Structure 1
Amino acid sequence: MKDQRGQLFLLALFRTSRSIAAGMITIAFPYLVLRYRHYSPFQLGLLYTSAAVSTAFLGLLFGFLTDVWGRGKTLFLVGLLLPLSSALVFISSRLPVLFVATSLGGYSATGSLMTGGIGGAAQPIQNAVIADLTTPENRTFYFSILTFLSGVCGAFGALLARHGEVRHIFLYATFIAGSGLALLPFIKTTSVRGTLRRLHSKIVIGKFTVTGMLNGFTQGLVVPFLIPFFVIVYHVPKSEMAVYAFAGGLLAALALLAAPRLERGLGFVKTIAVTRGLGTVLLLLLPFCHVYAIALIIYLLTPALRVTAVPVQQTALTEMVNQDEIGRALGINQVARLGASSGGITLTGYLFNISEIAAPFCIYAVVMAANICLYFRFFHRSYGRGLSKA
């Protein structure tokens, strides 16, 4: 157990470096595209779309490699992509280069600062390693703690982005994300190997795939465009927006610490229903309130409500599939989520471009309500520790 905690500590440091870089990129990238290069919101949406599609397929590839090639080598390979992508943006911000960089780095911004919205192809392998190093009894706790630390560091990275010229932020992100690679040789991963056979957990994986698709579509509709929303509607400068992103990321990180208690008290399904239901109501109000202070409060609260249930959901998936199928299950889930998010991103990019600012938030509310109903249908009577409480 002591050695496992040491391995988790090293993994946390690796995630820390990536999260700081991700926080910096999350703030800098939309300003680079919209203000520095004067591209349109639709072009920003296309960049996010290409990143989401690329991350989906890279996540699936690395998910399969995790099970059949090994955790350690796959983790190092995927860890290279984020610093490589930010280096490309620093070298050139021409549109073709940005498409390549966003695809490699996964600048989909479909998650909060701590859930893989930047560099998200690394999420399946990281979660598989965490599952290896934990037990079902403490898994939600460690998912919460590690994601909390990533969130704090991502928020700190967002705050750092208020300083310095936009282009130089990508150089700093390159060195910070790259530094974490030095830790990977010291992380001793397990040698669980699967085979490319039919998945025994295909029914469970299928259910998570359907809900993941709807989650991804709603994320793509709204999450990448929250910062552009304030840039376009309220003309918030980068230095000010970075502070708000820091505060929102910090609140979201703190909210993750409530995940184990919520899992024990409400169970898997009701935790998702309560937190994401409240977040949906707030996001529906955002484009209609027309009061800057209220809009900021909504911006600060909604990331916390969206991510609080993430550790509970990760635990449920890793408990309900076979051990040697975890990497593939996580990869398939990510393909579904990010593949669907690309459609949401493209749609919102178009709607923002024609000044239909409120439409994506209304669509978000309808789809999220349907998805919550599916969680009850699929998982309310699932077997397993804490997965559903009547």
Structure 2
Amino acid sequence: MYGRDVLLLLVSRISRSAAAGVLAVVVGLYYLNDLHLSLLAIGILFGAGAFVTPVLSLVLGVFSDRIGRKKVLLLTLFFLPAAILILLLTTSFPLLLLSSALGGFGIAGGLIGGGVGATAAPMQTALLSEKVKPEERTKVFSIFTMLSSYAGAGGALLSHISNYRELFMISLAISSLSALVVIPVKEDFKPRERVEVSKGGDEEVIRKFTVTGVLNGVSQGLIVPFIPIIFAKEYGLTQSTIGEVISLGGVMSATLMLATPWLASRMGFVKLIIVTRSASAVMVLLFPFLGNTLLASLDYLLFTPLRVVSLPAQQALMMNLVGEGRRATATGANQAGRLLPSAASTTLSGFLLNALSVALPFEISCVATLANSVLYYKFFRNIDRMASGNVTIVE
């Protein structure tokens, strides 16, 4: 229906997400159990990936809008295999920092939608938007995010394998496939005159999405990279059980995204994001206080899907508001706005968890998520229906 190139991009996304599913569960546990690093040291490693990823996303996104998305996408897709090779070959802390920087380990989002390796996202989103009609984008982004989340959930199940080296080898093979399948994709991008649909033009739209990304990054960076470690240290779950819980969270998130186009058309993007993210914020707040493994697992399985269900509509809204010549730039700026603060909050969270309180990062995350919802209402309430391809501005 959408052509060979869309299918190849989907295969690439699925492959990368499967590798991300493995890594989202085991990298932190590998640091903790095999290398015996402190939570502070793990926070520094996660922070390195979280700092470098948004900078690369922004720089490469702008660069790809000038020379073409495919070339830069291929380059970034090979970052993750390189990062895994470092994990396989050395335990040197400086090289582990480089590995985290290349692989984006610890970035907010975890395995949902293939969070690891997010430097590829601006080019992939822009390239995909080039091949899909505006009114179809929420649907296509939902399908991509849904299937890649299923793949991530499947990857998480591989954590039943106890040998970290075997897991890294599997991730290396799968992530390499993600890059190779993009080679035949054709790029037709040429700068085109855009139809002005937002009062402030592209720069104003990019600014708004970047600002909203800041609080989203803070809220996720505080907790997401440490979820497997919290399950292990505070709730006593084994690595295989953690993998099962995180996998199920991915499956539930992916399944709920089937309803994203319908929810966006019925509720509007702003109401959808406020309702779902506010509910997830409350559940995040409860997570460290539940004192029971079953309740904590159920809480995680609820707040994870609610946190991400609006993502395809948000991507579609951004692509519909921004002209084709700035789409990778817009996605890269949004990534930077989200991931740079998440890097700082991830590093801070390692300190808070290690020295102060397990609950404090979750409390701050709740407040940041609620504030993020308020910003979405302020910025986008008058263009609420553009996620479904409707370019009418509501006054």
TM-score (norm 1): 0.95
Map of 1:145 onto structure 2 = 143
Task: For residue 14 of structure 1, give the secondary structure of its aligned residue in structure 2.
Answer: helix
Q: 1:298-354: per-residue Cα shift (whole Å, max 9, x none)?
A: 111211111100001001111111110111011111111110101111121111001
Task: For residue 381 of structure 1, give the secondary structure of its aligned residue in structure 2.
Answer: helix
For the Cα contact (< 8 Å) 2:222–2:361, is it kept in 1?
A: yes
Compared CA separation, residues 382 and 303, structure 1 to 2 (3 A):
same
What's the offset of the Cα at 1:256? 1.2
Map of 1:224 onto structure 2 = 225
Partner Cα separation in structure 1 for residue 260 and residue 118 of structure 2: 21
Given candidates 101, 121, 138, the residue that maps to 2:99 is: 101
For the Cα contact (< 8 Å) 1:56–1:335, is it kept in 2?
A: yes
Range 294-303 or range 109-118, more displaced: 109-118
For the Cα contact (< 8 Å) 1:252–1:304, is it kept in 2?
A: yes
Range 358-367 or range 380-389, more displaced: 380-389
What's the offset of the Cα at 1:88? 0.9
One-letter amino acid of the counterpart of residue 332, structure 1: A
One-letter amino acid of the counterpart of residue 380, structure 1: R
Partner Cα separation in structure 1 for residue 66 and residue 336 of structure 2: 18
Map of 2:88 onto structure 1 = 90
One-letter amino acid of the counterpart of residue 359, structure 1: L
For the Cα contact (< 8 Å) 1:70–1:193, is it kept in 2?
A: no
What's the offset of the Cα at 1:194? 8.2
Partner Cα separation in structure 2 for residue 383 and residue 364 of structure 1: 25
Partner Cα separation in structure 2 for residue 192 and residue 84 of structure 1: 31
Map of 2:126 onto structure 1 = 128
Answer yes or no: is 1:359 the counterpart of 2:364: no
1:14-53 equivalence runs, <5 A: 14-53=12-51
For the Cα contact (< 8 Å) 1:266–1:389, is it kept in 2?
A: no
For the Cα contact (< 8 Å) 1:71–1:190, is it kept in 2?
A: no
For the Cα contact (< 8 Å) 2:57–2:336, is it kept in 1?
A: yes
Map of 2:75 onto structure 1 = 77
What's the offset of the Cα at 1:384? 5.2
For the Cα contact (< 8 Å) 2:51–2:344, is it kept in 1?
A: no
One-letter amino acid of the counterpart of residue 105, structure 1: G
One-letter amino acid of the counterpart of residue 42, structure 1: L
What's the offset of the Cα at 1:95? 1.6
Map of 1:166 onto structure 2 = 164
One-letter amino acid of the counterpart of residue 245, structure 1: I
Compared CA separation, residues 87 and 322, structure 1 to 2 (3 A):
same
What's the offset of the Cα at 1:355? 4.4
Partner Cα separation in structure 2 for residue 168 and residue 385 of structure 1: 45
For the Cα contact (< 8 Å) 1:67–1:192, is it kept in 2?
A: no
Partner Cα separation in structure 2 for residue 41 and residue 169 of structure 1: 22
Q: 1:93-130: per-residue Cα shift (whole Å, max 9, x none)?
A: 22212111010011124104133431111111111112
Q: 1:136-162: per-residue Cα shift (whole Å, max 9, x none)?
A: 111000000011110001110110122
Supply the RMSD in Å over aligned alpha carbons: 1.8
Partner Cα separation in structure 1 for residue 65 and residue 90 of structure 2: 36
For the Cα contact (< 8 Å) 1:27–1:158, is it kept in 2?
A: yes
For the Cα contact (< 8 Å) 2:21–2:111, is it kept in 1?
A: yes
For the Cα contact (< 8 Å) 2:57–2:335, is it kept in 1?
A: yes
For the Cα contact (< 8 Å) 1:320–1:384, is it kept in 2?
A: no
What's the offset of the Cα at 1:182? 2.3
Q: Which runs of 5+ in 2 are unaligned?
A: 194-199
What's the offset of the Cα at 1:71? 1.5
For the Cα contact (< 8 Å) 2:18–2:114, is it kept in 1?
A: no
Partner Cα separation in structure 1 for residue 296 and residue 352 of structure 2: 20
Q: Provide the aligned length of Structure 1 versus Structure 2.
A: 385
Task: For residue 5 of structure 2, give the secondary structure of its aligned residue in structure 1.
Answer: helix
Task: For residue 354 of structure 1, give the secondary structure of its aligned residue in structure 2.
Answer: helix
Map of 2:180 onto structure 1 = 182
Compared CA separation, residues 311 and 389, structure 1 to 2 (3 A):
farther
Map of 2:300 onto structure 1 = 299
Partner Cα separation in structure 2 for residue 340 and residue 44 of structure 1: 17
For the Cα contact (< 8 Å) 1:24–1:158, is it kept in 2?
A: yes
Q: Which runs of 5+ in 1 are unaligned?
A: none
Answer yes or no: is 1:320 the counterpart of 2:321: yes
For the Cα contact (< 8 Å) 2:235–2:292, is it kept in 1?
A: no
1:202-221 equivalence runs, <5 A: 202-221=203-222
Partner Cα separation in structure 2 for residue 357 and residue 164 of structure 1: 27
Task: For residue 351 of structure 1, give the secondary structure of its aligned residue in structure 2.
Answer: helix
For the Cα contact (< 8 Å) 1:59–1:334, is it kept in 2?
A: yes
TM-score (norm 2): 0.94
Partner Cα separation in structure 2 for residue 176 and residue 386 of structure 1: 32
Partner Cα separation in structure 2 for residue 299 and residue 384 of structure 1: 30
For the Cα contact (< 8 Å) 2:213–2:338, is it kept in 1?
A: yes
One-letter amino acid of the counterpart of residue 232, structure 2: V
